[in-house]
């Protein structure tokens, strides 16, 4: 009997799939166990999952999804439109969709929607406001078997029952998760019959487990140390751009960063590549807009050289010719380099007369709550996700929504473009609208744009064509067959 393919990663838990997360390790587990109506495609965009096809009305308010026939959950029960609607309705509750510091993420989009099973194979979603990018939300609309919902409501998430490509065999909290291929899955048969996810927080240990043969996949490896994989001749090292952006949120409610000229001056003053080389040893790519280069409607992210003269002129126009002190909140983790980053940033801003006064926070969850409650000083270290241009505009830029991570910023042009984008169902036309928003938010930045991290994944064997999915989540259905040496389908 073949041994399971072992995947080692820094985080591992069985959580509620209806709570929002951008943690790539958690999403890898969810995608192995569950399906939504759609999945991320191999080369971007969305492909059918539980839904075989879908339609949307020209006003982007009414969506109709046709399910595949014969869908079954891991426990053998049928997955029909009623079951799908039950999960989507649960996902949309205000007490669900919780992510670090922000409750009800999905409720803001689906809370007042009519979600209805028209017949056993048809799901209708009627929205109160147009959402042309609804698939950005539904890709996380994981469907649980009705038989498992009572356990989840009671807080027991240790026995997941989905329709995904793998089903649960055993779970040892804090140690390992063992999965078996679900032969009733609707998609192309995954190459590996069994998988074991193992928890290993230490990056060096993950690398050694891969090199020694204890693991076949190791995620989130050290950027420099993982270069050793190239020398073994028996491993593959893949570097992927993480769509999550490392930024500083600007407090535009009050203080110096209420002034657009000051916000732009800081963006003009910094050398992003120098920050990357110093703080994360080159393991990132410069970011010069509010979304990454892999986001829909973004522009290629060129590392603009610092323009100190223009930055100084803008500060003078804003009344800070004699200098400016900015109060900065910084956590000690997430990102883990936050303190070193802030120190390096302070050195770069000194030549334009800007001084940073840093306030350190050791409790990361409490820090996130402070940001959500708008209890921050002039600016704070943070990140921005997910892989949805629409969601970032709606949740973080739109003054009218006053989202969890919105800090007083207002740009009428960006809000008009958001309204136009959410009602434009033609993808090419919607992309043009978002490109305009990208440009508008370069001229008037809501944040200090820094970089997108690079994530290194190591695989046992030589797989020169293997790539991480665009959202930088490990898709276990695309792993090569580690037993036979065959590439992924």
Kindly report, residue by residue over 446-486, the tens digit of the pLDDT.
999 999 999 999 999 999 999 999 999 999 999 999 987 67
Per-residue pLDDT reduced to its tens digit, 88-108: 999 999 988 776 656 789 999
pLDDT at 299 over 80: yes
DSSP state of 1: -
188-215: average pLDDT: 97
The chain-wide mean pLDDT, for the chain, equals: 95
The pLDDT tens digits of the residues spanning 304-336 come to 789 999 999 999 999 999 999 999 999 998 899
Predicted confidence (pLDDT) per residue in 243-267, tens digit: 999 999 999 999 999 999 999 999 9
What is the rounded average pLDDT of the residues 399-419?
A: 96
pLDDT tens string 344-387: 999 999 999 999 999 999 998 899 889 989 999 999 999 998 89
**What Å distances lie between residue 114 and 140, 181, 390, CA to CA?**
18, 35, 21
Neighbours of 316 (CB within 10 A): 14
- Can you give the length of the chain in residues? 489
User: Quick check: pTM over 0.75?
Assistant: yes
Q: How does pLDDT run across 27-81, given as a tens digit for each residue?
A: 999 999 999 999 999 878 999 999 999 999 999 999 999 999 999 999 999 999 9
List C-alpha distances in Å: 175 to 8, 214, 283, 364, 402. 10, 15, 28, 24, 40
Return the closest-CA partner of residue 207 out of 218, 223, 191, 196.
Answer: 218
CA distance 315 to 322: 9
How much is the average pLDDT of 408-433? 98
Average the pLDDT over 154-175 and give the result: 97
* Residue 301, pLDDT score: 65
34-153 has CATH 3.40.50.720 classification:
no
In this structure, whether the domain defined by 245-453 belongs to CATH 3.30.70.3400 is answered with no
- Spans of all domains in the chain: 34-153, 245-453
Cis, bond preceding 386 (omega within 30 deg of 0): yes
Q: How far apart are CA 363 and CA 118, in angstroms?
A: 47
Q: Do domains 34-153 and 245-453 have the same CATH topology?
A: no
What local confidence, expressed as pLDDT, does residue 101 receive?
A: 59
User: What residue has token string 């709606």?
Assistant: 394
The 3-state DSSP composition of the chain as helix, strand, coil percent (nearest 5) reads 30, 25, 45
């Amino acid at each position: 009997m073949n041994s399971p393919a072992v995947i080692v990663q820094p985080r591992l838990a069985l959580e509620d799939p209806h709570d929002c997360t951008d943690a790539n390790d958690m999403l890898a587990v969810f995608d192995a166990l569950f399906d939504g109506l759609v999945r991320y495609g191999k080369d971007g965009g969305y492909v059918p999952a539980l839904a075989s096809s879908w339609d949307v009305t020209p006003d982007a308010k009414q969506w109709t999804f046709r399910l595949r026939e014969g869908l079954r959950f891991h426990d053998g029960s049928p997955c029909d439109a009623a079951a799908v609607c039950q999960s989507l309705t649960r996902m949309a509750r205000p007490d669900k969709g919780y992510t670090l510091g922000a409750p009800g993420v999905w409720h803001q989009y689906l809370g007042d929607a009519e979600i209805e099973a028209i017949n056993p194979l048809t799901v209708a979603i009627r929205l109160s406001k147009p959402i042309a990018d609804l698939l950005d939300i539904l890709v996380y609309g994981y469907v649980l078997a009705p038989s498992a919902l009572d356990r989840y409501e009671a807080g027991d998430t240790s026995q997941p029952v989905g329709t995904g490509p793998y089903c649960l065999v055993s779970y040892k909290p804090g140690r390992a998760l063992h999965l078996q291929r679900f032969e009733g899955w609707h998609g192309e048969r995954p190459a590996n019959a069994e998988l074991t996810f193992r928890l290993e927080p230490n990056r060096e240990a993950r690398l050694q487990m891969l090199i020694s043969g204890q693991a076949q996949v190791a995620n989130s490896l050290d950027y420099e140390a993982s270069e050793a994989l190239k020398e073994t001749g028996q491993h593959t090292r893949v570097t992927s751009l993480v769509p999550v952006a490392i930024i500083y949120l600007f407090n535009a409610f009050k203080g110096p960063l209420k002034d657009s000229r000051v916000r732009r001056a800081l963006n003009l003053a910094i050398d992003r590549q120098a920050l990357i080389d110093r703080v994360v040893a080159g393991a990132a790519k410069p970011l010069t807009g509010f979304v990454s280069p892999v986001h829909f409607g973004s522009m290629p992210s060129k590392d603009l050289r610092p323009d100190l003269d223009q930055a100084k002129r803008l500060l003078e126009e804003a009344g800070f010719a004699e200098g400016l002190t900015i109060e900065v909140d910084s956590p000690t983790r997430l990102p883990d380099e936050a303190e070193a980053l802030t120190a390096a940033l302070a050195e770069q801003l000194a030549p334009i007369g800007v001084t940073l006064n840093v306030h350190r926070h050791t409790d990361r969850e409490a820090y996130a709550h402070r940001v959500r409650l708008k209890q921050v000083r002039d600016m704070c270290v943070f990140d921005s996700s997910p892989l949805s241009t629409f969601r970032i505009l709606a949740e973080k830029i739109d003054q009218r929504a006053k989202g969890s991570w919105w800090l007083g910023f207002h740009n009428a042009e960006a809000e008009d473009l958001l309204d136009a984008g959410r009602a434009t169902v033609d993808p090419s036309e919607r992309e043009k609208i978002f490109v305009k928003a990208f440009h508008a938010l370069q001229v008037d930045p809501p944040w200090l744009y820094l970089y997108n991290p690079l994530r290194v994944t190591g695989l046992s064997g030589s797989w020169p064509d293997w790539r991480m999915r665009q959202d930088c989540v490990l898709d276990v259905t695309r792993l090569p067959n580690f037993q036979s040496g065959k590439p992924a389908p």
